[in-house]
Amino acid sequence: MSLEAARRIEAGEPMPGLLLIQCGVSTGEVLRTLELILECAHEGELEGVIEYIPF
């Protein structure tokens, strides 16, 4: 999925943000990171972004 997302971004095609979860991360840590993103990110801020969580 990340390769297709990167291709779309490079081609200038619309691409919502993609959050990928690192292997071995606990569910609680993922949920805390998602909560932080929801509290801090502005609408549209993650468009065209590929990010591994937790940061």
| Spatial separation of the C-alpha atoms in residues 13 and 37, rounded to whole Å | 24
30-35 LR contacts (CB < 8 Å, sep 24+): 30/54
Q: For residue 42, is pLDDT > 90?
A: yes
Task: Yes or no: say if 6 and 48 are a contact pair by the CB < 8 Å rule.
Answer: no
Tell me the pLDDT tens digit for each residue of 14-33. 999 999 999 999 999 999 99
Q: Which amino acid is at 25?
A: V
Tell me the chain's radius of gyration from C-alpha atoms: 12
pTM to 2 decimal places: 0.81
Task: Yes or no: say if 20 and 52 are a contact pair by the CB < 8 Å rule.
Answer: yes
